Structure 1
């Protein structure tokens, strides 16, 4: 009898030990699973965050490295800033074609004996462009600074500015209807990046045809960020009125009220330039000027008049349905009341179907011709 009890006790002990070992093993497995899940979740969260940052743009609070060039290097690259290398003139200086040591072609903006205002714009442009990277924003290659001179080095855009192409000697002859729509779409993509992808958002404040540069394939890039401001930046409501006559939105001109819709207005004026081949302000006499927006508005909404005021270079080369669509977008962009203007994202979505697939849109030419 004693032996039977002892046997039962051993059996219970073995069962108890077995259960303890089993539960311990199960607990260890669960703990390992929890650790693995936590690790994967953390990694997934990091990946998601990175992908969101890639999709949503960049934080402009982060510092970026910018290459510094000395005067001798830039002097050599521009052959001593020769007149034959001069490719443009701006408000604060000249732009020269340059060939850097690594055989990279570049554009060097040279500013001499600059004012305090010019120095602020120079610093603002270098700071912003060092953090902004987008196919439709000009690339900053570096900067240079001497006692009396400052330099900004950009990628070279072989076809100059949209202003030169439209209003220069060629009078827009190199720009077909589809090429003009591509330039409008490229510009809209650049502005959308500034408004929707940058954190905080950026208002360009001086969007115009001379600040839209064209590459070898007429790919458009927005340049000149000296006047650009970040939304919510200190003293944004007390910014000195700046911009170019004909492109400045009425609420900004009259009340100093600056929003992203100010850029949308300027974009609308650029769209009218592409459509009509006219300058934003035209001189009628020595004392009288006419705004393109004021002149065009009554005719843009009249389907019988619109085809007659289109740039003669592209007249009758487009589907009239597309012409009316682009005119409608331009009319919305230049509305006097900013709340009536669309967001640049909406403008972008309106233009995509009007640009051929091979130029970055979704239009299939075989369909449009049938």
Structure 2
């Protein structure tokens, strides 16, 4: 393709210089020319080209002579020394209306610039083409050698302690779409086609999550079931239109609708975090209070980033998650959390006052639904209502973290919220009775009061679970309070 571009560029240069292929080789076709010189027998002659020359004869002024050039004579560009000025061309009667001005007596071979000019221009173009090819190949080699040059500590896709990655830098530099955080769609498709599935690491009603390999690096591949196509579409839409690069939001790489094994598959490719979800992590791990606080603070930072609207060219609309739960919070290698699964998210921009709720018939997870959702009293036309439901669910996630935190050598097994009040797979009516009718909330263990960090978390949970949605904490207040608690854990305060 590059060679084709070079050829087209060469042709355009020749046109710009007034040259065509016929100007550089002897033509084989005879043309008719105006003949006005002492040797003309007719007013029209036939030759290989037409000429107009100023001929100087000794003792006389230069005279215009029009006629034909011959294949047996010199080429048009090689004019005889007795010509003061000349012109030649290759179309019939092209010498008819040409007038030449008197020039000084030529010194030496003054036609040389006429030859060297186009040649030098061609050489410059060839050099530029070669330089372009070298640059492309150099860039390709640099990308191929990126992993080997940087070593194990800077893997292309694996997030570092700061939540960055080499791919993150790539996304933020010259390959962004300009409007969002994703790669251009064609690049996304190319990346997706290069991913090999390695092992299934999770299943659910939404589909499956696989660990994949892309150029030797691990990526997460979420494969949506056909009935959850709207969730795939919604996540793809948000990631490609909103600048969501944040340490505590799952890093997006690519999205693709691909045909594999004779069926259409909907893929969402993201950074891979080997600890899995917070739900998985809490099944395996008990927590020291400071680790519990680290998980809680980072999750709150992610939620606050979603909820806030940021203005400006690098801004974002406010986003409510609508399906926040421990399964949709991932634990990174640095033991910070990041929020995943935006398939139900809603967006709002103050400037247009437009509420974008998407087109997804799926509802959130019943166990984590706020009372106003369960009794169907939520104001669906008010964006703040969706944020308040996220806060209710976040309080339940804090409760899950607190149960697995060791205090004075005591810790409890992992249990989901309301485990002692509803069945394993509760129905909408089961949850509505417990939360709305009986107005129950998960039991907060008394032992949390013995630790300054956990007593602060306990107070926060209560203020996330107010029946009146408007009385609940905001994500920003939760974030700031937890950060203050982590800096000064010995003086827990109520949250007001």
Measured against the shorter chain, the TM-score band is 0.5 to 0.7
**Cα separation, 2, equivalents of 1:238 and 1:110:** 19
Give the C-alpha shift of residue 363 in structure 1. 4.1
Q: Which has the higher helix share?
A: 1
Match for residue 244 of structure 2 among 128, 132, 137: 132
Q: How does 1:54-133 map to 2 (within 5 A)?
A: 62-66=179-183, 67-69=187-189, 72-74=193-195, 77-79=196-198, 85-101=199-215, 103-112=216-225, 114-115=226-227, 118-130=228-240, 131-133=243-245
**Cα separation, 2, equivalents of 1:250 and 1:296:** 10
Q: Which has the higher strand share?
A: 2
**Cα separation, 1, equivalents of 2:440 and 2:419:** 10
| Structure having the higher Rg | 2
Give the C-alpha shift of residue 353 in structure 1. 2.5
**Cα separation, 2, equivalents of 1:210 and 1:286:** 18
Distance 1:94 1:238, change over 3 A: closer
Distance 1:94 1:240, change over 3 A: closer
**Cα separation, 1, equivalents of 2:300 and 2:232:** 25
TM-score by length of 2: 0.50
Give the C-alpha shift of residue 260 in structure 1. 1.2
Q: How does 1:166-315 map to 2 (within 5 A)?
A: 166=282, 168=283, 170=284, 172-173=285-286, 175-198=287-310, 199-231=316-348, 232-234=353-355, 236=357, 242-253=363-374, 254-257=376-379, 258-276=385-403, 277-282=414-419, 300=444, 306-307=446-447
Distance 1:286 1:320, change over 3 A: closer
**Cα separation, 2, equivalents of 1:193 and 1:229:** 14
TM-score by length of 1: 0.65
**Cα separation, 1, equivalents of 2:197 and 2:219:** 9
Give the C-alpha shift of residue 229 in structure 1. 0.7
Secondary structure of the 2:211 match is strand
Q: CA RMSD in A?
A: 3.2
| Structure 1 unmatched ranges of 5 or more | 1-60, 80-84, 311-317, 356-361
Give the C-alpha shift of residue 111 in structure 1. 2.6
**Cα separation, 2, equivalents of 1:124 and 1:284:** 33
Asked if 2 retains the 8 angstrom alpha-carbon contact of 1:241 and 1:256, the reply is: no
Secondary structure of the 2:247 match is coil
Query: Counterpart of 1:163?
Result: 279
| Structure 2 unmatched ranges of 5 or more | 1-177, 311-315, 380-384, 404-413
